[in-house]
Amino acid sequence: MNNAAVKGTAGSVKLDQVKKIRSKRWETPVTGYLFLSPWLIGFLLLTLGPMVMSLYYSFTDYSLLAAPNWVGFDNYKQIFTDDDVFPKSLKITITFVLLTVPLRLMFALFIAMLLNRKMKGMSFYRTMVYFPSLIGTSIAVSILWKNIFSRNGFINDFLGIFGIKGPAWIADPKYALGTLIILMVWQFGSSMIIFLAGLKQIPTDLYEASSVDGAGKFRQFISVTLPMLSPIILFNAVQTMINTFQMFTQAFVITNGGPVKSTFVYVMYLYEEAFTKFHMGYASALAWILLVLIGLFAAVLFGTSRYWVFYENQGGKK
| Other beta carbons within 10 Å of 94 | 15
Q: For residues 256-295, which are near another protein according to CB under 8 A?
A: 267, 270, 274-275, 280, 283-284, 286-288, 290-291, 294
Site string for another protein, 184-223 (x = CB under 8 A): --x---x--xx-xxx--x----------------------
Report yes or no: 184 and 244 within 8 Å, Cβ to Cβ: yes
- Nearest approach, Cβ of residue 154 and another protein (Å): 5
151: which DSSP letter? T
Burial-class residue 206 by CB neighbours within 10 Å (0-12, 13-18, 19+): middle
- Nearest approach, Cβ of residue 2 and another protein (Å): 29
171 touches another protein by CB under 8 A? no
**Which residue, 4 or 200, has its beta carbon nearer to another protein?**
200
Out of 51, 260, 299, 300, the only residue in the binding site for another protein (CB under 8 A) is: 51
Q: How far apart are CA 268 and CA 100, in angstroms?
A: 18
Site string for another protein, 102-141 (x = CB under 8 A): ---------x--xx-x-x-x-xxxxxxx-xx-xxxxxxxx
98 touches another protein by CB under 8 A? no
| Other beta carbons within 10 Å of 56 | 14
Candidates 30-38, 70-78, 80-88, 96-104: pick the segment binding another protein (CB under 8 A).
30-38
Q: What is the DSSP string of 176-233?
A: HHHHHHHHHHHT-HHHHHHHHHHHHHS-HHHHHHHHHTT--HHHHIIIIIHHHHHHHH
Report yes or no: 267 and 222 within 8 Å, Cβ to Cβ: no
36 touches another protein by CB under 8 A? yes
- Nearest approach, Cβ of residue 41 and another protein (Å): 5
